[in-house]
Structure 1
Amino acid sequence: MTVLMRARSRDEAHRAATPLELFFDLCFVVAIAQAGRQLVHDLAQGHPGHGIAGYLMLFFTVWWAWVNFSWFSSAYDTDDVPYRVVALVQIAGVLVLAAGIPRAFTAGDFRVVWFGYLVMRLAMVTQWLRAAHGSRGAERRAALRYAAGVTVCQIGWLALLFLPAGDIPWVFVVMGLLELSVPALAERERRTSWHPHHIAERYGLFTIIVLGETVSAATVAVQSALDEHKAPGVLLPVAAGGLLLVFAAYWIYFAVPIHLHLHSNRQAFLWGYGHYLVLGSAAAVGAGIEVAVEESVGTAQLSAFAAAACVTVPGALYIATVWLIHSRHQKRGPAQQLVLPVSAVLVLACTFAGHGAVPAAGLVAAATVAVGVTLTARQGTALAEEQPPRSADPRPRA
């Protein structure tokens, strides 16, 4: 049944992610996995500049399309037939984009990537035009600005097909900034009615899926290396350290209820945009573990220090960014505030441990969780002790 697309209430009770949104996330992670696989290849072959630049660009296209759909669905999810069909078209677009990632990495050919992104973004324009049709006044104007802004940006992305390969990174920087500016321009008059709890859950679930892909990629790498090289004594410390790092990444992210912080667009935009680094570094940790596995069995063309940095740098970036945009808003006192920044520095310092870097980083991350849990428990005990004792009998005594 087709209905007018009207904004949902920001105060709607029991708002949760839908099965369609979870399916959407899982399909988008396919493209992230493709970008991570290409990053592993470039890093292991000693081409970090090319690999990192390509990864950052292609990760942006996947992440930004996901972000736009997630915030739109938080405000306008009607879950009717047209809404579902357009969402499935976006899924088809990201799968096309994923198929073009290897060619974009190896040959600088962005035609398939561009077409997949175009499919996703034109589907998003369709959603915004439908929202405009069901709205009035400032809300209608905001929806039309979104549709116009996304459309104009797609024209700019055409430069990928005609400019020399050396200019492509600059195209991504300019067009990325223009894309990021569209929500701020569209909502300058009226904020869309995104739901704080729902959007926090959406980001949290996508973070879990990305971390799951990290575990999956690392597991396959360790299994392949064991089958080919029969070196458990070398590989198991890397696997254990990587697993500890990913477990800690999960724990750190979900230690605070972030929806309590998301009140305005200013707070939400900074938090939402900052997840480019959170999610990008989380996926890169998996790529780094794969590189560390290849280096440990002698199949990678880079030093032990460089292989260690492939894990510790994204690991430290993840911890630091989660603290900066996510966790610090719920921390109390200097001790709690310093735990994650100090941990990020220590994880980065593990780079100098060479072949022991990944296990060392995993132990630092595990210790970070232990310290955080202890400080939180102590704070809870202190707050409880500050409360006045309650009488068992509430009646006034003579």
Structure 2
Amino acid sequence: MSEQPPPRPSGVLRRMTARGRDEEHRTATPLELLFDLCFVVAVAQAGRQLVHALAEGRPGHGVTGYLMLFFAIWWAWVNFTWFASAYDTDDVLYRVVTLVQIAGVLILAAGVPRAFADSDFTLVWSGYLVMRLALVSQWLRAAHATEGAERRTALRYAAGVSLCQVGWLGVLLLPDHAKPWVFLVMAFVEMAVPVCAELGGPTAWHPHHVAERYGLFTIIVLGETVAAATVAVQSAVDEHEALDELLPIAAGGLLLIFAAYWIYFAVPIHLHLVSNRQAFAWGYGHYLVFGSAAAIGAGIEVAVEETTGKAHVPALAAAASVTVPAALFMLSVWLVHARHHKRGLPQHLTLPVSAVAVLACTFAGRFATLLAGVVASATVVVGVTLSTRGARESAARVRQGAEPG
């Protein structure tokens, strides 16, 4: 029988001290999974608004709004994930405060349509306020229970998060044309908070736990893509009975999603997360990974609507709505995730070359999604073949080195 993780002590209130980075059996908790599940609502809202904008022929508005709102969703998830990896006490108070954060997520999700359509960020900001009040209270609780450098780090986090929440008032008070610039400035400020807070002493995030949390969120985002594509195909079939035209899109979308899963989970990334510098670069890069993965589903919906005549956009634009995020996913996964475990030029070039090939599929028109799915599947086959060959060659060199001279 496999060894089971030791039970954690229970209690209404426990001292919030850091958990060890070398702690065994450190995996995602049911509360973290519930937290992630609630984020699906927000991701789905952002994707749905992107579909509407692209289908109406407003790609500039759609992409800009999507990038801004997905950042808000992603960054709220990042804040909780890294804090929980270091300070999850799983006592009653911790659970209650986390549930308050979940309530904030749902308020944020409810505000996504207004923010997208009318640049009204009131509900989004209010949801962030609820989440931030809960998160700051967690950091202050950690500061109260610790001392020295660890306490100063916790206080820096609490101060930085509070100041950022005030800074986001710009998206409420300034005119619409200034809001994208406020977003750019505040996004950089937000991402600077963890870097500055941990200069005096890093928090005790757990490499395996963080890698698993990011992997689970990848699965959730891909799952939302499957759900969105399924609903789009189902409604199109019910209304138009254009099954012969929709099957290539459905098949290509499924191949893309399976390939995305395989490509992401092909490497043991926790072995790479050995320092704050490496972990932050990897974690921040997942804004592109998560955002492009979710956008694939939106692109499939647009392709379905264009095929059935509901989207008034050219076939080339509908095809690009699938191939561009799919290519971006491949490239971003290679850049921040997979390349750290690639050996040799062929392995390093597989994903970048495949990303270019997926982009080229745009010119296949209504067969672009199917062709992109075939290219993505071929990428998996090539990657597995090269990895297997590399492993065999490494084993052969080890055996040769072990033989007596």
Q: What is the CA-CA distance between 1:390 and the residue it aligns to?
A: 12
Letter in 1 for 2:305: E
1:116 to 104, 127, 139: 127
2:234 to 214, 223, 247: 223
* Mean CA deviation greater in 380-389 or 360-369: 380-389
SS in structure 1 of the partner of residue 17 of structure 2: coil
Give the structure 2 partner of residue 339 of structure 1: 350
User: Is 1:381 matched with 2:392?
Assistant: yes
Give the structure 2 partner of residue 315 of structure 1: 326
Letter in 2 for 1:188: L
CA deviations over 1:244-295 (Å, ceiling 9, x no partner): 0011000000000000000000000000000000000000000000000001
Give the structure 2 partner of residue 293 of structure 1: 304
Q: Distance in 2 between matches of 1:321 and 1:161?
A: 32
User: Is 1:214 matched with 2:225?
Assistant: yes
User: Is 1:270 matched with 2:281?
Assistant: yes
* Mean CA deviation greater in 382-391 or 32-41: 382-391
Output the aligned Cα RMSD.
1.4
Q: Distance in 1 between matches of 2:401 and 2:157?
A: 55
Q: Distance in 2 between matches of 1:15 and 1:213?
A: 26
1:30 to 41, 61, 70: 41
User: Is 1:366 matched with 2:363?
Assistant: no
Q: Distance in 1 between matches of 2:210 and 2:124?
A: 27
Q: What is the CA-CA distance between 1:386 and the residue it aligns to?
A: 2.7
Structure 1 runs, 4 residues or longer, greater than 4 Å off: none
2:152 to 128, 133, 141: 141
Give the structure 1 partner of residue 186 of structure 2: 175
Q: Distance in 2 between matches of 1:379 and 1:274?
A: 27
Letter in 2 for 1:230: E
2:174 to 159, 163, 166: 163
* Mean CA deviation greater in 138-147 or 158-167: 158-167
Q: Distance in 2 between matches of 1:357 and 1:139?
A: 52
Give the structure 2 partner of residue 281 of structure 1: 292
CA deviations over 1:330-368 (Å, ceiling 9, x no partner): 011111111101010100111111111100100000000
SS in structure 1 of the partner of residue 142 of structure 2: helix
Letter in 2 for 1:352: F
Q: What is the CA-CA distance between 1:383 and the residue it aligns to?
A: 2.3
Q: Distance in 2 between matches of 1:63 and 1:81?
A: 26
Letter in 2 for 1:189: G
Give the structure 2 partner of residue 306 of structure 1: 317
Q: What is the CA-CA distance between 1:389 and the residue it aligns to?
A: 7.6
CA deviations over 1:23-70 (Å, ceiling 9, x no partner): 000101110110000000000000111111111111111100100100
Q: Distance in 1 between matches of 2:124 and 2:391?
A: 50
Q: What is the CA-CA distance between 1:161 and the residue it aligns to?
A: 1.4
SS in structure 1 of the partner of residue 337 of structure 2: helix
1:103 to 105, 108, 114: 114
Gaps of 5+ in 2: 1-11
Q: Distance in 2 between matches of 1:34 and 1:305?
A: 25
Q: Distance in 2 between matches of 1:156 and 1:37?
A: 28
Letter in 2 for 1:319: M
CA deviations over 1:163-189 (Å, ceiling 9, x no partner): 111111111111111111000110011
Q: Distance in 2 between matches of 1:174 and 1:390?
A: 55
Give the structure 2 partner of residue 395 of structure 1: none
SS in structure 1 of the partner of residue 25 of structure 2: coil
Q: Distance in 2 between matches of 1:243 and 1:168?
A: 37
Number of aligned pairs? 393
SS in structure 2 of the partner of residue 109 of structure 1: coil
Give the structure 2 partner of residue 394 of structure 1: none
Letter in 2 for 1:373: V
- What fraction of aligned residue pairs are identical, expressed as a percent? 71
How high is the TM-score relative to the length of structure 2? 0.95
Q: What is the CA-CA distance between 1:385 and the residue it aligns to?
A: 2.6
SS in structure 1 of the partner of residue 399 of structure 2: coil
Q: Distance in 1 between matches of 2:100 and 2:22?
A: 30
Q: Distance in 1 between matches of 2:262 and 2:314?
A: 31
Q: Distance in 2 between matches of 1:349 and 1:49?
A: 21
